[in-house]
Amino acid sequence: MAESTIITGQFVRISQTPASIGERLIALAIDYILLGFYVFSTLALFSRIHLPSDFTMLFFFTIVYLPVLLYAFLCEMFNQGQSFGKRLMNIRVIKADGSTPGKADYVITGQWAKKAHAEAARYGQANVVASSADKTFTYIPKLDPSTFTKDADYFYICMNNTIYGTVYHELPDTGDVPLVADISSCILSRPIDVSKFGVLYAGAQKNMAPAGLTVVIVREDLIGNAMDITPTMLNWKTHADNGSMFNTPPCYTIYIAKLVLEWIKNEVGGLDKMYEINKKKADLLYGFLDSSELFKGTVVPEDRSLMNVPFVTGDADLDAKFVKEATENGLVNIKGHRTVGGMRASIYNAMPYEGVEKLVEFMKKFEAENK
């Protein structure tokens, strides 16, 4: 049969040879034979069992007829659409974009989790197991393991939510399903037990280096499982096999990352010490917010981020006045994200404790002048 060309959402052209009519008919015949054998053997078994008459039809329907009726659905749910006949004939079931259907669970805790979920939904079944959108992402939702997809390919979280100022202090228990985390805005802010994850990835621009570098930490057994439509440059195996030198890397950005790592190790004293400093900075700012009569933090206390601290006065005009006067006093980029409003202090590793002290001093002064 002639090749069929598929163009993916990323404009990757893939040529595949569809199964012939004969191959499909043979696969269908195998399925019918298997179903017929199942029905015959089950009826033969029931004929030897003396059941009350009122149970006979119920058992016949649930044990014999229902699995046959739902055969295609069960193959779709548990075998990526591939029936036993298709498997024996080596016929794969793919989506219109050329990919094999997959499943993943997502927890939606902000804009980046929403974007990640939307991208995943283009390639497979992306299930939302929990979301904090109902309260503008001001908390990390409590998770019910019974809602998790047991045979999911992975389970996704955005560990620290830059815009909304929330962070996971406890990781979800996903069992054998690999946990995937975006740690762009909390990498190097505290120690992370890498062994609890299948994949960790981070843009370097928050705590490591200028924008343009992405760090990906992948469990070795997860390398080499890319979908057929995955472009070569986005296949982790490509980079693992080439020592991350498949293409010319962003040398200057990597060099800056090297300097930052050396600074944390040699001058700060390691990630444990970095965490102590970050917690001290956050405690100072949150402590003032909790005692202030004018300013209020927007995140529930148990889910507060050490890196991003959003807060408001409760009055949009007063918020705008604060941002303006803060900028005039050298406290720049304090305006909150457009989807939230108010203010946001991003106190990443590079922000010294003295910088947070200056912010708190100005907030106290502003509160005294605007009561």
Return the CATH number at 322.
3.90.1150.10
Domain membership flag for residue 96: no
Same-domain pairing of 109 and 246: yes
Report yes or no: 258 and 251 within 8 Å, Cβ to Cβ: no
Q: For the chain, how many structural domains are there in total?
A: 3
Same-domain pairing of 126 and 231: yes
Same-domain pairing of 165 and 233: yes
Q: What is the mean pLDDT of residues 285-304?
A: 97
Which residue out of 31, 103, 112, 281 is catalytically annotated? Answer: 112
Choose the final residue of a domain: 197, 223, 254: 254
CA 115 to chain centre: 9
Other C-beta atoms lying within 10 Å of the C-beta of residue 217: 15
Reply yes or no on whether 206 is catalytic.
Answer: yes
Q: Using CA atoms, how far apart are residues 299 and 332, in angstroms rounded to an integer?
A: 22
List % helix, strand, coil for the chain (3-state, nearest 5). Answer: 45, 15, 40
Choose the final residue of a domain: 199, 226, 254: 254
**3-state SS, residue 279:** helix
For residue 84, name the pLDDT band (cuts at 50, 70, 90). Answer: confident
Q: Which residue has the higher pLDDT, 95 or 23?
A: 23
Report yes or no: 211 and 202 within 8 Å, Cβ to Cβ: no
Same-domain pairing of 167 and 243: yes
Q: What is the mean pLDDT of residues 260-282?
A: 98
The span from the first CA to the last CA of the chain, in angstroms, equals: 79
Q: Using CA atoms, how far apart are residues 323 and 342, in angstroms rounded to an integer?
A: 9
Which residue out of 31, 105, 182, 319 is catalytically annotated? Answer: 182
For residue 10, name the pLDDT band (cuts at 50, 70, 90). Answer: very low
Per-residue model confidence (pLDDT) at position 12: 44
Reply yes or no on whether 182 is catalytic.
Answer: yes
Q: Map tokens 């089950």 to a residue.
A: 42
Same-domain pairing of 118 and 66: no
Same-domain pairing of 61 and 125: no
Q: Using CA atoms, how far apart are residues 358 and 351, in angstroms rounded to an integer?
A: 11
* % of the chain with per-residue pLDDT over 90: 66
Domain membership flag for residue 264: no
Same-domain pairing of 248 and 302: no
Report yes or no: 304 and 283 within 8 Å, Cβ to Cβ: no
Same-domain pairing of 81 and 209: no
Q: Using CA atoms, how far apart are residues 60 and 68, in angstroms rounded to an integer?
A: 11
Q: Which residue has the higher pLDDT, 11 or 183?
A: 183
Reply yes or no on whether 263 is catalytic.
Answer: no
Angle of the 271-291 helix axis to the 353-369 helix axis, nearest 10: 10
Q: Using CA atoms, how far apart are residues 76 and 69, in angstroms rounded to an integer?
A: 13
Q: Using CA atoms, how far apart are residues 343 and 289, in angstroms rounded to an integer?
A: 12
Same-domain pairing of 247 and 122: yes
Which residue out of 206, 281, 303, 319 is catalytically annotated? Answer: 206
What domain range includes position 225? 103-254
Average pLDDT, the chain: 87
Choose the final residue of a domain: 54, 88, 122: 88
Per-residue model confidence (pLDDT) at position 76: 63
For residue 28, name the pLDDT band (cuts at 50, 70, 90). Answer: confident
For residue 83, name the pLDDT band (cuts at 50, 70, 90). Answer: confident
Report yes or no: 321 and 312 within 8 Å, Cβ to Cβ: no
